[in-house]
Amino acid sequence: MINVRELPVSIKQVYIGNKRLTKSIFKQIESRSAFDKDLNFLGSEILGYVLDDKTKFLIFVNEKGDLCKSKLDNLIFTKNIPLNTKEFSLRTKDVFELLDVSFSEDPIFERLGKLLISKEGRERLTMLSKKAKDIFSVIENNKLYL
């Protein structure tokens, strides 16, 4: 036997003045990085996230009080780094960016496929991954609807 229960649903929406944030307004919001290279938040308030065309965007207020958006792709990537091995199967360019190391377009980097990372690199990736998970624990229940 199948039972259907009624449950209360809460939908969160952002209002700018007395206007609801719509998709057309969302497209006009300035894109800006919400975090520095150490994943420290650069704004004053996180409002939540929006899913737009399969891409998650953080909606936040910057230090000047402006509404901004920031793609969460790199944060999702960082959160999902496998931390249980010395050899990380990651996209080479992304690893270099996370480690804040200059990346050369030299084809040898592209051919590596897997990258052995130094102890310091593993420690930095571990720290960044844990920070990314902490950030997601704050925003995961704050989906905003357009």
| Per-residue pLDDT at 50 | 93
Number of domains the chain contains: 1
Q: Which residue has the tokens 């925003």?
A: 139
What's CA 68's distance to the chain center, in Å?
A: 14
Asked if residue 31 belongs to a domain, the reply is yes
The larger pLDDT score, comparing residue 93 to residue 57, is at: 57
Q: Are 33 and 70 in contact (CB under 8 A)?
A: yes
Neighbours of 100 (CB within 10 A): 9
Asked if residue 144 belongs to a domain, the reply is no
Asked if residue 32 belongs to a domain, the reply is yes
| Per-residue pLDDT at 113 | 41
| Rounded-to-integer distance, Cα 96 and Cα 73, Å | 16
Domain membership of residue 60 as a residue range: 15-139
pLDDT at 15 over 50: yes
| Per-residue pLDDT at 44 | 93
pLDDT in tens, 95-145: 667 766 665 555 554 444 445 567 777 788 888 889 999 999 989 888 888
Asked if residue 146 belongs to a domain, the reply is no
pLDDT in tens, 50-63: 999 889 999 999 99
DSSP string for residues in 62-84? ETTS-EEEEE-HHHHHHHT---S
Asked if residue 98 belongs to a domain, the reply is yes
